[in-house]
Amino acid sequence: LEAIRAHPDVRAVGTEPHFFDRNYEKGLEWYRNVMPKTLEGQITMEKTPSYFVTNDAPRRIHSMAKDTKLIVVVRNPVTRAISDYTQTLSKKPEIPTFEVLAFKNRTLGLIDASWSAIRIGIYALHLENWLQYFPLSQILFVSGERLITDPAGEMAKVQDFLGLKRIVTEKHFYFNKTKGFPCLKKPEDSSAPRCLGKSKGRTHPKIDPDVIHRLRKFYKPFNVMFYQMTGQDFQWEQEESDK
């Protein structure tokens, strides 16, 4: 969202409105008022990641505007789960270890798929819900990994998908080695680049390699299903064998 907002034809809400999950009873007028004012030809956008895993969201969005375009950023579900845990840990240092939360039964290696950090990464399961309301042609899947290694390449796809001129290009990015994330700069502006907030690029806690191995095995069939459903191979398995 930060990157696409650099495009002059996009207006976006800075905070997550959570309309289609938490604030739906406030009504469409409330949602409209949260949105930025746009001119003819501009695109209005918002980002609320939890919509993807909210059962009612696809139906609600579809009943508001069935031609809405949807963008989903996905990353390796194992890394995603650890990242999710890291974020919670920074707010609640007293929570149990990742290993404790990840298993129903550690001895048997039974993964606890009801724990949200793990459930969210079963992308095929959530996507099924969306495909009941939206055709695949209205959904763009962006690779979270490539968004870091080749932000301009991924942003070219986003702009094409939204029917925008490719204005956000490599000139807009520079890589921040400390954070491990690209930062955004305005090509015509000499001011300091904007980097993502402090919740991004946190150091992940050390996780037992056996736990990571079991998680990979758990996600693999779901990943394969997701690749088949989207017609895109995100290469999360290759990534593992490279390490």
What is the set of domains in the chain, with CATH numbers?
4-230 (3.40.50.300)
Query: What Rg value do the Cα atoms of the chain yield, rounded?
Result: 19
Predicted local confidence at residue 179, as pLDDT = 63
| CB-based contact 118:103 (threshold 8 Å) | no
Per-residue DSSP letter, 177:
T
Does 214 show up as a binding residue in the annotation?
no
Does 83 show up as a binding residue in the annotation?
yes
Q: Is the pLDDT of residue 196 over 90?
A: no
Q: How confident is the model at residue 125 (pLDDT cuts 50, 70, 90)?
A: very high
Predicted local confidence at residue 18, as pLDDT = 98
Does 198 show up as a binding residue in the annotation?
no
Predicted local confidence at residue 174, as pLDDT = 84
Predicted local confidence at residue 157, as pLDDT = 98
Does 11 show up as a binding residue in the annotation?
no
| CB-based contact 74:144 (threshold 8 Å) | yes
Predicted local confidence at residue 194, as pLDDT = 75
User: Please, what is the average pLDDT of the chain?
Assistant: 92
How far CA 16 is from CA of 32, 102, 124, in Å, comes to 14, 28, 24
Does 217 show up as a binding residue in the annotation?
no
pTM of the predicted model, to two decimals? 0.89
Q: How confident is the model at residue 180 (pLDDT cuts 50, 70, 90)?
A: confident
- DSSP-derived 3-state class of residue 63: helix
Q: HSE on the CB side for 77, CA within 13 Å? A: 26
Does 97 show up as a binding residue in the annotation?
no
Better pLDDT: 104 or 188 = 104
Q: Is the pLDDT of residue 60 over 90?
A: yes
Does 143 show up as a binding residue in the annotation?
no
